[in-house]
Structure 1
Amino acid sequence: MTCRPRRIAALALLLGVAGCAGGGEGGAGADRAGANPAQAKLIAEADAAMTRGALADAGRTLDAARSLDPENPDLWLAIARLRLRGGEHLTALEAADRALALGPDHGPALLLRAMLVRDAHGAAAARHWFERAAEADPDNPDIWAEYAATLGDAGEAKAMLAAVRRLAALAPEDPRVFYLQAVLAARGGEDVLARSLLAKSGMAAKGVPAAMLLDAVISLRQGNAESAVASLESLAARQPANVRVRELLAHALLAGNHPDLVVTRFGADATRAEASPYLVMLVARAQEQLGDRAAAAPLLARANRALRDAPTVLAVREGLPEPTAAVRAAIQAGDRAGARARGAALRERFPASSDVASLAGDALLGAGDLAGALAAYARASEARRPWPLARKAAWAHARAGDAAAADLLLAEQVAGEPDTASAVIALASRQAARGDWARAALLLDHAVALGAGHDPALLALRVRAARTLGKGQEADRFAQILAEVQPRRLAAP
């Protein structure tokens, strides 16, 4: 059935692993600024100011530090961290490159560069940078923690284990050791061990998002839906735009026998074009449990339709930054000119922000300016290219008549993030459209292995692939799975 926890656990475990280790963008570089103790002190003060959110104070302190020695890579590393905290992703990249130009073997600078490459191009592309960082500074725990998390995102469990062991040797009491071990244990199905290790890390209790998510998934697999709901409620409040967290929360509520809360919280979401077939299915099941067949029937029809290719305008949600909410609202209202003007104004105010460039691209895409949208997305991708951005760019390329560019972008995204199920499914859909059913079938099988086997549209495409390839028994097997996942069709009484 769709609501079995293990159907979604594998995919959920992979959310947010990279970057969860913490400390990688901290003040490690300040300890290396031995050439000028006064400057080292100022860099440490700037790091402390960043930690407490006083970015303006940190900027003034770094200006003072720069007057003492402008050629210190530690200084430029601190500047890069400040710019990242301030949302200036593109100029942060420039500062990181400046640090590396001044110190090509500077371990913390190589680490930051590796993390930036990971954000923009995925785990596979970043591996070389992490290896360089580890070679340059082999006793730096931050490097090994982030490297281990990245290897996990790339699906390389054995290499991840080796990196975690190196981290444990360097810093046996570091909470990241236990957290990363918990991730490995959970992926191996050792939930009791994973729970023990996660508790030992203390990271879930401290509110680290990836640890909270892992805690929720383990709770679901152990049948404790109420505990999972508590963690996911907190996460959803902090990350209102995180679609996968919201889906997992809906799943946990339904697993905890709260169909009324599923409808209350997610009923409106299920009616929006952006809703995934899985969320629509969850709300339909909730309506069915409440006895409202008239409400469930159209939702089931939507959940079982073909895989959606075109991106949709995301909803305006409580907790979103005002500029993001304003642009989304304008697009949803059909105010293309207003959305475009708002996006352009934001880019003028924040030219170094990858997020703003992406938002401006959304406005341009909504206005039908494919070339402008692609240029904005390309600018945003210089610093970071999360899957939602890559998906929109791929769609825009295809809509502009450049199918090869769309296919290449999707292939690169899957190579960099092989465990992002929705990216794998999108590439499979493109391969199917091109008639490459053998490759589509392989990709769909990988998506199912990641935990996406609850998606009826995916399973329907997999049945079609098997039949096209002349594999009747395989088609029958997937058709059986589809029948199990797909509840009976309902008609309004």
Structure 2
Amino acid sequence: MTHRSSFRAKCQIGLALLLLSAAGSVAAKTPDPDAREAFDGAMAQFRQSDLRAARVSLMNAIDDDPDWAEPHVLLAQVSLELFDAITARSEIDRALRLGVKPERINHLMGHALWLQGENEAASNLLTKGPIGAPFLTYANRILGRVRMDMGDFTGAGKALDQALENDRDDSMAWTDLARYRFALADQGGAIAAVEEAVKLNPNNVRALELRGQLVRSQFGLVAALPWFERALQINPGDIPALEEYATTLGEAGRHAAMLEQIRKLVAIDGVNPKAFYMQAVIAARARDYPLARRLLQRINGPFAERAGPQLLSAVVEYELGNWHRAIDALDSLVETRPYDDQARVLLARTRYRSGEYLDAWDTLAPLANRSDASQYVLHLAAKILQAADRREDAVAYMDRAAFPSARPAAVLNERSPFSAAADDASRNPNSAPDVLPYLRLLLARGETGPARAAALRLAEGNGSVPDAQVLLGDAERAAGNQTAALAAFERARAIRFTEPLLLRMVAGYRGAGNDDAARKALTEFAAFNPSSPSAMRLVAYDFLDRGEWGNAIPWLLRLRSRIGFNDAILNANLARAYSGLGRHSDAKREAALAYTIDPANLMVTHVYGQVLLATGKDIKHARSLLRKANKMAPTRADIRKDYETALKKKAG
């Protein structure tokens, strides 16, 4: 017998025992023959993960024989698999009235209560109510999810350990353990657990969906798609898998395929909030902001309070010119998510557009003052400071933004009080959630020695927590141990490859003279995240830094097709690349476009002057531009040299 057929046999026996024990307290009853036929069909459909067909068959069985308990029990379980807690509770109540003992069905009631957000009631029932021995694994894994939602991660861990102690071969228990580990930032442990879940049950749709999510953060968008496709082959109507698949397709730039999945989602669930959200994203990318707004207004419930819909709503209001609405939404978002850099930048930009220059600077300063501040952030900082009449400060940020390069990501600023973080770390020196904030604060304060010691201890005991490895790498880098830093970054990369980690690795490898390794990391990240503007920009800028103009141009054009023509820095870099290839007319066109968009930008002004100087045909204009750039940054030797070259050339 194969592993899969063996597993199926085990499931059939287990399901039969569940139903027999659930109805065991009821007097023997011969069901209606039609009801039995419909019920047997439902059992087969349930085993094949065709949950909606099973639900219809069970409703037919109940219509044929409403006093037979078994269809009610199975319909409750099917409804829970479909996230329909209301129907599940109704069927549980009917089963109890038909004589099913509470200990045979309380695990299902606890599950239903949890799905409805009644965590206290679910916890009380699952811990104090009678639970039959065959259902203890199920009850404990649901209890683990309940306690996770209540913020009791210690209790959640104990419940999940108990679930697996009851049955090491329960695929869903391993799946929920993976979710628990992921919530604790233990992505490596989560991957190991979900791999065990899939091994035990290759048809576990929840495990396949979670594996897809973990692969998405581990490698990238494209790598995750086969896992969602596999889940949907097993159950084409599974809503969470459809949502994740459609979202990943959209983020990968495959919008036609995304819309096809959205249509399937809407056909199954006509009020699905994620479907409206994904359609709103597409509308916003097409610059149809009124349509995006109408779609967002159809999103209700807890999903509307998530960061994604709130941020998109703010973007839409910004594009429609409703500054104050956008500011209100972004203020709330930044307050609740202080590390959300995207929301912080948008809030600063919105305040700048509305004329609130000082507030805009206060919002942006934490990002602009970081060593790894992006070119866009630096450019926005210069514009805000210039508008606030702080021209000397503005020039300093213009100078930093002048030419792009891949900078190492700085340590994330931690907003916890240092004393509180130190106390948490001393009490739990091997707990990643307790030690990580303390490490960030130590590194931000420049206390490299203590940071390195604490990071080494944490990383040794938390090898599968990527953030522990990243901070160890930061500590080693600060201590001057570049080889050790790169080794730590590589360990983190094997678990989760993110943009900040990419920045660290590229800077580290280039600093060590290993350009091939830096390029390999860049191209791998871009291959799995093909529609990521950050990835496109980083690869393009890497080629620009190397002077490989022909390789840079396709990436810059892809980036422009993704974000539009309004990015002056992007257009100026295209001009640099075209000029480097001797394509002077193309370079002049791009430089002129960049200057039209932002004539006050130092880089744009300088590049435009350089391009005209290289053509040899408009020296007078080139001289004027380079004079302006020289005045903007009088200490820049390269600009001064170009200006002096223009002065020596005759006007053409």
Match of 2:480 in 1: 368
Q: Give 3-state SS (helix, strand or coil) of 1:150's partner.
A: helix
**1:371 Cα shift?**
2.4
Structure 1, 451-460 or 356-365: larger mean CA deviation: 451-460
1:424 equivalenced with 2:533 (yes/no): no
Match of 2:334 in 1: 236
The residue identity in structure 2 corresponding to 1:82 is Y
**Is the CA contact (8 Å cut-off) linking 1:370 and 1:400 kept in structure 2?**
yes
Pick aligned residue for 1:136 from 214, 218, 234:
234
Match of 1:20 in 2: none
TM-score for both structures, normalised by structure 1: 0.86
**Is the CA contact (8 Å cut-off) linking 1:459 and 1:482 kept in structure 2?**
yes
Pick aligned residue for 2:583 from 451, 471, 478:
471
The residue identity in structure 2 corresponding to 1:346 is L
> Percent identity at matched positions?
30
Structure 1, 438-447 or 397-406: larger mean CA deviation: 397-406
2: distance between equivalents of 1:139 and 1:36? 29
**1:375 Cα shift?**
2.2
Deviations 1:273-311 (A, max 9, x none): 3322322222322222233333333333333x2113231
Map 1:6-405 → 2, pairs under 5 A: 36-202=134-300, 206-267=304-365, 269-303=367-401, 305-314=402-411, 316-318=413-415, 322=421, 323-405=435-517
Match of 2:90 in 1: none
1: distance between equivalents of 2:565 and 2:412? 26
2: distance between equivalents of 1:116 and 1:407? 25
**1:269 Cα shift?**
4.3
**1:175 Cα shift?**
1.5
Of the two structures, which has the highest relative contact order with CA contacts closer than 8 Å and spacing of 6 or more? 1
2: distance between equivalents of 1:279 and 1:433? 20
Structure 1, 240-249 or 136-145: larger mean CA deviation: 240-249
Pick aligned residue for 1:481 from 571, 581, 593:
593
1: distance between equivalents of 2:437 and 2:355? 33
The residue identity in structure 2 corresponding to 1:139 is G
**Is the CA contact (8 Å cut-off) linking 2:502 and 2:521 kept in structure 1?**
yes
Larger radius of gyration: 2
**Is the CA contact (8 Å cut-off) linking 1:88 and 1:353 kept in structure 2?**
yes
- Residue segments in structure 1 that go unaligned for 5+ positions in a row: 1-25
Are the structure 2 counterparts of residues 99 and 268 from structure 1 closer, same or farther at C-alpha, using a change threshold of 3 Å?
closer
**1:161 Cα shift?**
0.5
Structure 1, 46-55 or 192-201: larger mean CA deviation: 46-55
Are the structure 2 counterparts of residues 279 and 434 from structure 1 closer, same or farther at C-alpha, using a change threshold of 3 Å?
closer
**Is the CA contact (8 Å cut-off) linking 2:408 and 2:508 kept in structure 1?**
no
The alignment covers a number of residue pairs equal to 465
Are the structure 2 counterparts of residues 453 and 53 from structure 1 closer, same or farther at C-alpha, using a change threshold of 3 Å?
farther
**Is the CA contact (8 Å cut-off) linking 2:439 and 2:454 kept in structure 1?**
yes
**Is the CA contact (8 Å cut-off) linking 2:550 and 2:577 kept in structure 1?**
yes
**Is the CA contact (8 Å cut-off) linking 2:409 and 2:503 kept in structure 1?**
no
2: distance between equivalents of 1:428 and 1:285? 25
**Is the CA contact (8 Å cut-off) linking 1:293 and 1:491 kept in structure 2?**
no
Deviations 1:184-230 (A, max 9, x none): 22222221221111121126874201111111111111111222222
Are the structure 2 counterparts of residues 145 and 319 from structure 1 closer, same or farther at C-alpha, using a change threshold of 3 Å?
farther
**Is the CA contact (8 Å cut-off) linking 1:247 and 1:279 kept in structure 2?**
yes
TM-align CA RMSD: 2.8
Deviations 1:248-284 (A, max 9, x none): 2211111122112112333464344332232222232
Match of 1:16 in 2: none
The residue identity in structure 2 corresponding to 1:442 is P
TM-score for both structures, normalised by structure 2: 0.66
1: distance between equivalents of 2:367 and 2:485? 26
Q: Give 3-state SS (helix, strand or coil) of 1:159's partner.
A: helix
Are the structure 2 counterparts of residues 228 and 268 from structure 1 closer, same or farther at C-alpha, using a change threshold of 3 Å?
same
Deviations 1:55-105 (A, max 9, x none): 222222222322332101111101111111122211111100100110112
**Is the CA contact (8 Å cut-off) linking 2:568 and 2:593 kept in structure 1?**
no
**Is the CA contact (8 Å cut-off) linking 2:218 and 2:496 kept in structure 1?**
yes
1: distance between equivalents of 2:365 and 2:204? 51
Q: Give 3-state SS (helix, strand or coil) of 1:200's partner.
A: coil
Deviations 1:233-252 (A, max 9, x none): 22223332333322222111
**1:354 Cα shift?**
1.6
2: distance between equivalents of 1:452 and 1:343? 42
1:407 equivalenced with 2:519 (yes/no): yes
2: distance between equivalents of 1:453 and 1:431? 21
2: distance between equivalents of 1:419 and 1:365? 31
Q: Give 3-state SS (helix, strand or coil) of 1:306's partner.
A: coil
Match of 1:15 in 2: none
1: distance between equivalents of 2:562 and 2:584? 24
1: distance between equivalents of 2:396 and 2:543? 29
**Is the CA contact (8 Å cut-off) linking 2:466 and 2:493 kept in structure 1?**
yes
Are the structure 2 counterparts of residues 238 and 436 from structure 1 closer, same or farther at C-alpha, using a change threshold of 3 Å?
same
2: distance between equivalents of 1:269 and 1:188? 29
1: distance between equivalents of 2:417 and 2:596? 37
The residue identity in structure 2 corresponding to 1:46 is G
Are the structure 2 counterparts of residues 454 and 351 from structure 1 closer, same or farther at C-alpha, using a change threshold of 3 Å?
same
Deviations 1:150-189 (A, max 9, x none): 0011000001001111212222222212112211222222
**Is the CA contact (8 Å cut-off) linking 1:447 and 1:453 kept in structure 2?**
no
**1:146 Cα shift?**
0.4
2: distance between equivalents of 1:377 and 1:269? 23
Deviations 1:428-449 (A, max 9, x none): 1222344432221111122233
The residue identity in structure 2 corresponding to 1:376 is A
The residue identity in structure 2 corresponding to 1:311 is P
2: distance between equivalents of 1:198 and 1:446? 28
**1:147 Cα shift?**
0.4
